Amino acid sequence: MNKHISPRLNRRAFVIGTAAVGAGLAIGLDLPFGGPAVVRAADGSPEIGAWVVVRPDDTVVIRIARSEMGQGSLTGLAQLVAEELECDWTKVTTEYPTPGQSVARKRVWGDFSTGGSRGIRSSQDYVRKGGATARVMLIQAAADAWKVPASECRAANSVITHTPSGRTTTYGKVAEAAAKLTPPADVKLKDPKDWKLIGKGVNRLDTADKTTGAMIYGVDVKLPGMLNAAIKDCPVFGGKLKSFDEAKIANMKGVKKVVKVGDTAVAVVADTWWHAKTALEALPIVWDEGDNAKVSSESIAKWLAEGLDNAQPAYVGNKNGDAKAAIAGAAKKVEAVYSYPYQNHATMEPMNATALYTADKCEVWCGTQNGEAAFAAVLEASGLPAEKCDVHKVMPGGGFGRRGQTDYVRQAVMIAKQMAGTPIKLLWSREEDMAHGRYHPITQCKMTGAFDANNNLIALHYRLSGQSILFSLRPEALQNGMDPAAFQGVAQSGEAAFGYSVPNLLVEHAMRNPHVPPGFWRGVNVNHNAIYMECFMDELAHAAGQDPLEFRRKLMGNHPKHLAVLNAVAEKIGWNTPAPQGVYRGIAQVMGYGSYVAGAAEISVTEGSKIKVHRIVASTDPGYVVNPAQVERQVAGSFVYGLSALFYGGCTVKDGKIEQTNFDTYNSMRINEMPKVETVMVPSGGFWGGVGEPTIGIAAPAVLNAYFAATGKRIRHVPLRDQNITLA
pLDDT in tens, 403-421: 999 999 999 999 999 999 9
Reported as a single tens digit per residue, the pLDDT across 48-74 is 999 999 999 999 999 999 999 999 999
Burial class (CB in 10 A: 0-12, 13-18, 19+), 492: middle
162 and 280 fall within a common domain: no
Asked whether residue 269 is domain-assigned, the answer is yes
Residue 35, pLDDT score: 44
Closest listed residue to residue 688, CA positions, set 638, 626, 618: 626
Closest listed residue to residue 105, CA positions, set 63, 62, 67, 58: 63
Domain end among 209, 232, 265: 209
Please tell me the number of Cα atoms within 13 Å of 549 on its side-chain side. Answer: 21
The number of domains in the chain is 3
319 and 352 fall within a common domain: no
Asked whether residue 1 is domain-assigned, the answer is no
457 and 382 fall within a common domain: no
Residue 37, pLDDT score: 80
Contact 278, 452 (CB under 8 A): no
Asked whether residue 193 is domain-assigned, the answer is yes
- pLDDT above 70 covers a percentage of the chain that reads 95
Closest listed residue to residue 340, CA positions, set 555, 646, 136, 82: 646
- pLDDT above 90 covers a percentage of the chain that reads 95
Q: Please provide the average confidence, as pLDDT, over all residues in the chain.
A: 94
Contact 647, 701 (CB under 8 A): no
Asked whether residue 216 is domain-assigned, the answer is no
- What type of residue is 9? L
689 and 628 fall within a common domain: yes
Closest listed residue to residue 587, CA positions, set 445, 456, 704: 704
Count of C-beta atoms within a 10 Å radius of residue 185: 6
697 and 667 fall within a common domain: yes
As a whole number of angstroms, the distance between CA 161 and CA 154 comes to 5
Torsion of CA 261, 267, 272, 273, to 10 degrees: -100
Reported as a single tens digit per residue, the pLDDT across 502-532 is 999 999 999 999 999 999 999 999 999 999 9
117 and 36 fall within a common domain: yes
Torsion of CA 58, 64, 67, 72, to 10 degrees: -50
Domain end among 153, 180, 209: 209
Q: How far is CA 60 from CA 45, 54, 145, 307, in A?
A: 10, 5, 21, 56
**What spatial distance separates the first Cα and last Cα of the chain, rounded to whole Å?**
54
349 and 325 fall within a common domain: no
Dihedral (CA of 308, 309, 310, 313) sign: negative
- Using DSSP's 3-state secondary structure scheme, residue 671 falls into helix
Residue 17 has pLDDT above 50, yes or no: no
Q: How far is CA 523 from CA 401, 598, 651, in A?
A: 9, 14, 17
Reported as a single tens digit per residue, the pLDDT across 159-189 is 999 999 999 999 999 999 999 999 999 999 9
Reported as a single tens digit per residue, the pLDDT across 70-86 is 999 999 999 999 999 99
Contact 522, 400 (CB under 8 A): yes
Residue 410, pLDDT score: 98
507 and 542 fall within a common domain: yes
Asked whether residue 402 is domain-assigned, the answer is yes
Residue 32 has pLDDT above 50, yes or no: no
Summarize the confidence of residues 2-29 as an average pLDDT: 31
Asked whether residue 94 is domain-assigned, the answer is yes
Residue 36, pLDDT score: 57
- Using DSSP's 3-state secondary structure scheme, residue 154 falls into strand
DSSP 609: T
Burial 700-726 (b: 16+ CB within 10 A, else e): bbbbbbbbbbbeeebbbebbbbeeebe
Strand 168-170 to 159-162 pairing:
antiparallel
Full domain range(s) for residue 163: 11-209
Asked whether residue 302 is domain-assigned, the answer is no
236 and 155 fall within a common domain: no
Confidence of residue 337 (pLDDT cuts 50, 70, 90): very high
556 and 704 fall within a common domain: yes
Residue 10 has pLDDT above 70, yes or no: no
419 and 541 fall within a common domain: no
DSSP 328: H
As a whole number of angstroms, the distance between CA 184 and CA 182 comes to 7
598 and 497 fall within a common domain: yes
Edge-to-edge strand ranges of the sheet holding 424-427: 255-261, 265-270, 227-233, 424-427, 352-357, 362-366, 389-393
Reported as a single tens digit per residue, the pLDDT across 295-324 is 999 999 999 999 999 999 999 999 999 999
As a whole number of angstroms, the distance between CA 463 and CA 529 comes to 11
DSSP string, 234-288: -SSTT-EEEEE-GGGTTTSTTEEEEEEETTTEEEEEESSHHHHHHHHHHS-EEEE
Summarize the confidence of residues 630-640 as an average pLDDT: 97
Reported as a single tens digit per residue, the pLDDT across 130-144 is 999 999 999 999 999
Asked whether residue 295 is domain-assigned, the answer is no
DSSP string, 486-540: GGTTTBSSSTTB-----SEEEEEEEE---SSPB---TTTHHHHHHHHHHHHHHHH
Residue 292, pLDDT score: 98
Domain end among 435, 457, 484: 435
Residue 23 has pLDDT above 80, yes or no: no
CATH number at residue 42: 3.30.365.10
